[in-house]
Amino acid sequence: MTPEQPEQPAPLRLFTCSPTKLNTWVDCPRRFRFAYVDRPSPPKGPPWAHLSYGTSAHNALRSWWDLPVGTRTPAAAGELVREGWLTDGYRDEDQSTKWRERAAEQVGHYASTLDATAEPVGVERTVGMRSEHLAFSGRVDRIDDRGDHLVVVDYKLGRSVPTDTDARSSMALALYAEATQRTMRRPCRRVELHHVPSGTVAAWEHDDDGVARQLARADAIGAEAQRATAAGDNEDSDADFPPAPGPLCGWCDFRAVCDEGRAAGPARAAWEGLPRV
């Protein structure tokens, strides 16, 4: 370097991330620090029933596609839920059993709407890509082959029924679509949210500009989180990872070690996040 050249900051390495990691930064930088920066990570609170419920349903749907075509029946889907049922977080055995049967019925009904003879090109398939700041990877619930294009399918088990607007505005789905297209070298611009309890399908067909906007947004979030992580080994970690207290604090795994989060509202019971029925 000649004396006249201004000193350039060292380039940051690519930020390794998933959609969850990016969204955690957006929701609360302190939570991001607890989950991804601090080692050892602070102890988490007790497990949540709604996560057990969601994971059980996802696992059953994954296994259903592994069955021989002739045995992919709605009843088999329900049975897979029962076999792999996760019991963590429920108030008691009675509540867990009721939800197990409810989930078995929901997953079975959802399976009845599927073409059991189809072969998705991916089930819980990991896709990845790089951008200016990101080394992105994520696991797609299902990638459907619809002839001349692929479709990203994301299962939803939550309380609210997703809309097409949710599918359009989801940064995660747009990143999945782009990563699927690059990983599998086939066009992929359609994303779908399949709400298993109601059978509702919300969908959006992105264009390249829409995907590019979401990718730019993800890049900016990743760069911000990366800068904080690079600077975050000083003593004032709150400056780099400020808390964002709000309604989410009641559901935060790190509420017990966060004064601002505890002040934001009451703790939620481990089963309170189960969908209303």
The one segment of 27-35, 74-82, 115-123, 208-216 that binds ligand SF4 by CB under 6 A: 27-35
- Report the residue number, 162 or 261, with the smaller CB distance to ligand SF4: 261
Q: How far is the CB of 250 from ligand SF4 (least distance, A)?
A: 8
Select the residue whose beta carbon is closest to ligand SF4 and give its number. Answer: 261
Output the CA torsion sign for 24, 28, 31, 32: positive
- Report the residue number, 232 or 243, with the smaller CB distance to ligand SF4: 243
- Report the residue number, 30 or 72, with the smaller CB distance to ligand SF4: 30
Q: How far is the CB of 262 from ligand SF4 (least distance, A)?
A: 7
Residue at 235: amino acid letter: E
Alpha-carbon distance of 228 to 135, in angstroms, equals: 17
The strand pairing partners of 209, in sequence order, are none
The residue count for binding ligand SF4 (CB under 6 A) is 14
26 contacts ligand SF4 (rule: CB under 6 A): no
Alpha-carbon distance of 118 to 138, in angstroms, equals: 23
125 contacts ligand SF4 (rule: CB under 6 A): no
The one segment of 24-32, 52-60, 124-132, 194-202 that binds ligand SF4 by CB under 6 A: 24-32
261 contacts ligand SF4 (rule: CB under 6 A): yes
> What part of residues 226-255 is at the interface with ligand SF4 (CB under 6 A)?
243-245, 248-249, 252, 254-255
- Report the residue number, 35 or 191, with the smaller CB distance to ligand SF4: 35
Q: Are 151 and 121 in contact (CB under 8 A)?
A: no
Q: Which positions touch ligand SF4 (CB under 6 A)?
A: 28, 30-31, 243-245, 248-249, 252, 254-255, 258, 260-261
